[in-house]
Structure 1
């Protein structure tokens, strides 16, 4: 499995608005190899809020195919981003899953 996270820093108090935006997806759930999307809201930060968008994929190739898709382009159109004046920045990370244990 392959996991990609996008840590999005937003102005203090704006995490709920960003989470709300993700409730209307634009096709990621139909992408080949997509397993799950989770949003994590970081607790205890003083200067800003952080929402970590975590996507899990069957493999790296599935994630790369998503980033080259029409659905990805539509989900990341500039017109949508212009409305997000509360976003301070972001940092992406990717991981190859070495171990996964379930209940």
Structure 2
């Protein structure tokens, strides 16, 4: 199993519009062979005071939204990226102003998990 993470820096003031895009998505990926699940994580930039163990918001740190998809295999993910459904799901591109910088795409293989027999 693999997890594909798209780390996206959303510009201040565009968070609601960005989140709405995922709430209103067409769910084409959900039907693709090998797809397991999708999650979108909202950033909460935090810092910890190591002496006291207290946590507080970190206004100086850029948070990244993370869009994660779980796949049975890397080949299943690649097939999704080459599909007509992928092109359709990504055709309505958001405005450049929505982003505070470039996204980062990461692929990880799950080799152990507390909730799966991997």
TM-score class, shorter: 0.7 to 0.9
**3-state SS of 1:55 partner:** strand
1:46 equivalent in alignment to 2:59? yes
TM-score (norm 2): 0.75
Residues paired across the two proteins, number: 101
**3-state SS of 1:81 partner:** coil
Q: Measure how far apart 1:84 and its partner are.
A: 5.0
Structure ranking higher in helix proportion:
1
- Provide the aligned C-alpha RMSD in A: 1.9
Q: Indicate if the aligned counterparts of 1:15 and 1:41 stay in contact, CA closer than 8 A.
A: no
CA offsets 1:30-76 (integer angstroms, 9 cap, x no match): 00000000001111253544210000001101100000000101122
Q: Which residue is equivalent to 1:95? A: 108
**Residue ranges of structure 2 left out of the alignment (5+ in a row):** 46-57
Structure ranking higher in strand proportion:
1
Q: Indicate if the aligned counterparts of 1:15 and 1:51 stay in contact, CA closer than 8 A.
A: no
**Residue ranges of structure 1 left out of the alignment (5+ in a row):** none
CA offsets 1:3-29 (integer angstroms, 9 cap, x no match): 000001111242232121012333100
Q: Measure how far apart 1:82 and its partner are.
A: 4.6
TM-score (norm 1): 0.85
Larger Rg: 2
Q: Measure how far apart 1:83 and its partner are.
A: 3.3
